[in-house]
Amino acid sequence: MERTVTVVPEDGLHARPASQFVETANSFDADIQLGRADEDDLVPAASMLAVTGLGVGHDESVRLAAEGDDAEAALDALEDILSTPEAKQ
Amino acid sequence: MTERTLSGIGVTPLSGVGTVVWYRPDADLPEPPAAEDVDAEAELARFEDARAAAEDELEAERERTAERVGEEEAAVFDAHVQFLNDPQITDGVTDAIEGGLPAEHAVQETFSEFVEQFENMGGRMGERADDLRDVRDRLVRVLSDGERVDLSSLPEGSVVVAERLTPSDTAQLDPERVAGFVTVTGGRTSHAAIFARSLALPAIVGVGEELQSVEDGAEVVVDGESGDFVVDPSDERKEAAAAAADVDIRHESVETADGVEIEIAANIGTLADLGPAVDRGADGVGLFRTEFLFLDRESPPDEDEQYEAYVEALESFDGGRVVVRTLDIGGDKPVPYLDLPDEENPFLGERGIRRSLGPDADLFETQVRALLRAAASADGANLSVMLPLVSTVEELRAGRERFESIAADLDAEGVENELPEFGIMVETPAAAFMADQFAPHVDFFSIGTNDLAQYVMAAERGNERVSDLGDYRQPAVLRAIDATVSATEGEDCWVGMCGEMAGDPDLTELLVGLGLDELSMSAVTVPQVKAAVAETDTADARELAERVLQADTKAEVAEILTLDQ
């Protein structure tokens, strides 16, 4: 299952939002990947290196893909992080 | 041996004397043994152990940093843990070990590949490259069993010298044993600088490659105020630095010899400056430069974050006054998320209160809400607020009305709030000329001598060609101060001073004589100024001030002050 989400945090997928994103991705069983919305390549969401390596900034769109039992819940949780303006503690 | 001075950016106004300990975390590893001599299984186990140990260290350092410096700075360690456990990293290292490399070489090789990738991407990615290097060095250190300098157990009086110090490095430093640190790279707001201020350690950053020429074991003086790093210092230099480091600190308030209390407060920028202010015996805060809460970040701090910052400052002093200056943004203080205009003369442009009443009205409202709420907190009665760069009575009135109308909004929302003591900075000639008109509308003035000298003398700050003109000992500057204080006679309005002049102990007697009630300065000079106040007699001081005000040149002012010493 797939979803396209706009990255709201000012930092983009860096620093604290990226940390939270990876931590959340790791907390689900589903195999989750992401990439830039306008590109075909996807990288593992569980890898901090891969996620920050995408260099996604504020207001850019990303494509999330998840497979597995809790895929929908995982996508919901990750979308929530990407749609929250400021990372919460 | 003759002394040699290197210069960098001083980040703490403190001096230290000590012995150089070079910290080179990325020293080369020895050549790896031949692949067939490497026991892959044993090396994989070593890597796993090292990873677990590194994670434990990171957790501990996260805690310590959150406590000492703050949550914001501590968050970087979360990213480090994630890099440490990243599948691409662990797979890479595992492959390299299976290919015949010992664990430390496998770590070095795997990380370096990613570091390079991130570096080539530039921008924000450069910071991630620093994080990766930091994690790599930690793993290599754990694996090589601490063969390099251990920052947590240095000999007493060590001055740590390094290319750069990462958050991981600084978290290990024992401030009791370290006399200071000096780095090749870094700026005023680098991790290392923030850390140095929070621990009140003398520190200089950004010295440049010349620092590499300083040898391990050399005797040095670190002057964190001027940024001078003196190698092989003369005895006089060492004594002066030691004397500066070793002053009697008075935690109680101070009176002149004839019993007039003078409030001696500290200037702070961030909450990390509170520790040194308390340690050096400041009675409170005379200038909280709140714009520092807004710099070096991607979005402004919200109301709650600001509220907590103001309350923390209030709680740091036992009954001491905390004077908060509202946002002074503009021109020379760029803020990435604000659309600041390009101005030909930023110091004469839209800055300070001019922005708060104009384009930054929303930011100002958030700040005022936080301040009004902080004034209703447990120690809120000690809160004072002042507006920067006021030059007309209308600005003062408009600023005051904003406070009153926002307080009414908070009342309507049922949010507890109080109007704090209210004042203005006197830093424009207009404010000094009009002081008698301003005085009835405020509880206090705080004279900002750095800007006042610049504007009175039309001599730009920091421009060496006109530094003689911009000196606060110019008779015109002294007269502007005198005019401001005199205008408050018969009014219920106290007068303070913040700016470098207030922290110059050679001028303390003159300032008491001019009638200042409060002096606020960088924390480091608080003990010297308190000592100078205790030796002052107000009648003598007034007589001195009268003579100085008659002087027609700066040279004459200086002469009268020297003869008086």
CA atoms of A77 and A66, how far apart (whole Å): 12
Q: Which residue has the higher pLDDT, B488 or B276?
A: B488
Helix/strand/coil percentages in chain A, nearest 5: 35, 20, 45
Beta carbons of B410 and B420 less than 8 angstroms apart: no
Q: Which residue has the higher pLDDT, B462 or B147?
A: B462
Look at residue A87 and tell me whether its pLDDT is greater than 50: no
Q: Per-residue confidence at B490, pLDDT binned at 50, 70, 90? A: very high
Sheet holding B158-162, edge to edge: B4-7, B228-231, B219-223, B15-23, B158-162, B178-183, B203-205, B9-10
| CB nearest A10 (choices: B86, B299, B302) | B299
Distances (CA, A) of A17 to A79, B87, B296: 12, 19, 17
Q: Report yes or no on A88 lying in a domain.
A: no
Look at residue B146 and tell me whether its pLDDT is greater than 80: no
Look at residue B431 and tell me whether its pLDDT is greater than 70: yes
Name every residue whose Cβ is closer than 8 Å to that of residue B61 and which is 6 or more positions away in sequence. B77, B167, B168, B171, B172
Beta bridge partners of B497: B447, B519
Question: The whole model's pTM is what?
Answer: 0.63
| CB nearest A55 (choices: B88, B114, B121) | B121
b/e map B2-39, b = 16+ CB within 10 Å:
eeeebbbbbbbbbbbbbbbbbbebeeeeeebeeeeebe
Number of structural domains in chain A: 1
Chain A CB contacts of B80 under 8 Å are: none
* B159 φ/ψ angles, rounded to the nearest 5 degrees: -110, 110
* B149 φ/ψ angles, rounded to the nearest 5 degrees: -55, 125
Q: What is the pLDDT of residue B453?
A: 94
Chain B CB contacts of A12 under 8 Å are: 124
Scanning every residue of chain A, which has its alpha carbon at the shortest distance from the alpha carbon of B301? A86
CA atoms of A40 and A35, how far apart (whole Å): 7
Distance to chain A for B514, nearest Cα, Å: 49
Q: For residue A46, what are the domain limits? A: 2-83
Candidates A49, A54, A60, partner chain B, best to mutate (most B CBs within 10 A): A49
Distance to chain B for A17, nearest Cα, Å: 10
CA atoms of B287 and B301, how far apart (whole Å): 19
8 Å CB contact of B71 and A89: yes
CATH of domain B35-143: 1.10.274.10
CA atoms of B560 and B543, how far apart (whole Å): 12
| CB nearest A49 (choices: B78, B89, B123) | B89
| CB nearest A11 (choices: B89, B114, B298) | B298
Tokens 């990613």 locate to B114
8 Å CB contact of A48 and B83: yes
Q: Which of residues 303-332 of B touch A (CB under 8 A)?
A: none
B465 and chain A in contact, CB less than 8 A: no
Work out the mean pLDDT of chain B and round it to a whole number: 89
CA atoms of B296 and B334, how far apart (whole Å): 9
8 Å CB contact of A49 and B83: yes
Give the count of Cβ contacts less than 8 A between chain A and B: 53
B122 and chain A in contact, CB less than 8 A: no
Give the mean model confidence (pLDDT) for residues A53-65.
88
Q: Which helix (H) or strand (E) holds B387?
A: strand B383-387
* B421 φ/ψ angles, rounded to the nearest 5 degrees: -55, 140
Scanning every residue of chain B, which has its alpha carbon at the shortest distance from the alpha carbon of A14? B124
B117 and chain A in contact, CB less than 8 A: yes
8 Å CB contact of B88 and A55: no
* Range scoring the smallest mean pLDDT among B21-35, B266-280, B470-484: B21-35
Chain B CB contacts of A18 under 8 Å are: 79
Domain ranges of chain B: 4-24+149-245, 35-143, 262-424+494-564
Per-residue model confidence as pLDDT tens digits over B48-59: 999 999 999 899
Per-residue model confidence as pLDDT tens digits over B529-555: 999 999 999 999 999 999 999 999 999
8 Å CB contact of B86 and A47: yes
Q: Report yes or no on A89 lying in a domain.
A: no
| CB nearest A50 (choices: B75, B88, B123) | B88
8 Å CB contact of B88 and A47: yes
- Find the CATH number of the domain harbouring A47: 3.30.1340.10
Look at residue B511 and tell me whether its pLDDT is greater than 90: yes
Distance to chain B for A4, nearest Cα, Å: 24
Q: Which residue has the higher pLDDT, B246 or B218?
A: B218
Look at residue A88 and tell me whether its pLDDT is greater than 50: no
**What percent of chain B has a predicted confidence (pLDDT) above 70?**
95
Scanning every residue of chain B, which has its alpha carbon at the shortest distance from the alpha carbon of A22? B82
B302 and chain A in contact, CB less than 8 A: yes
A24 and chain B in contact, CB less than 8 A: no
Look at residue B147 and tell me whether its pLDDT is greater than 60: no
Per-residue model confidence as pLDDT tens digits over B125-143: 777 888 888 899 889 888 8
Which class is B262-424+494-564 in CATH? alpha beta
| CB nearest B78 (choices: A12, A19, A53) | A19
CA atoms of B209 and B213, how far apart (whole Å): 8
Per-residue model confidence as pLDDT tens digits over A15-39: 778 888 998 998 999 999 999 988 8
Candidates A52, A59, A60, partner chain B, best to mutate (most B CBs within 10 A): A52
B84 and chain A in contact, CB less than 8 A: no
B390: its two tokens = 């006021």
8 Å CB contact of B75 and A16: yes
Give the mean model confidence (pLDDT) for residues B246-261.
91
Query: Domain B4-24+149-245 classified CATH 3.40.50.970?
Result: no
Q: What is the pLDDT of residue B198?
A: 67
* Range scoring the smallest mean pLDDT among A10-19, B52-61, B240-249: B240-249
ipTM surpasses 0.90: no
Q: Which helix (H) or strand (E) holds A31?
A: strand A31-36
B71 and chain A in contact, CB less than 8 A: yes
A46 and chain B in contact, CB less than 8 A: yes
Q: What is the pLDDT of residue B101?
A: 92
Q: Report yes or no on A31 lying in a domain.
A: yes
Q: What is the pLDDT of residue A89?
A: 38
8 Å CB contact of A50 and B121: no
B114 and chain A in contact, CB less than 8 A: yes
3-state secondary structure of B355: helix
B391-400's contacts with Cβ under 8 Å and 24+ in sequence apart are: B391/B428, B391/B430, B391/B431, B392/B430, B392/B434, B393/B434, B393/B437, B393/B438, B393/B441, B395/B353, B395/B354, B395/B357, B396/B424, B396/B438, B396/B441, B396/B442, B397/B441, B398/B357, B399/B326, B399/B353, B399/B356, B399/B357, B399/B424, B400/B441
A50 and chain B in contact, CB less than 8 A: yes
Scanning every residue of chain B, which has its alpha carbon at the shortest distance from the alpha carbon of A85? B299
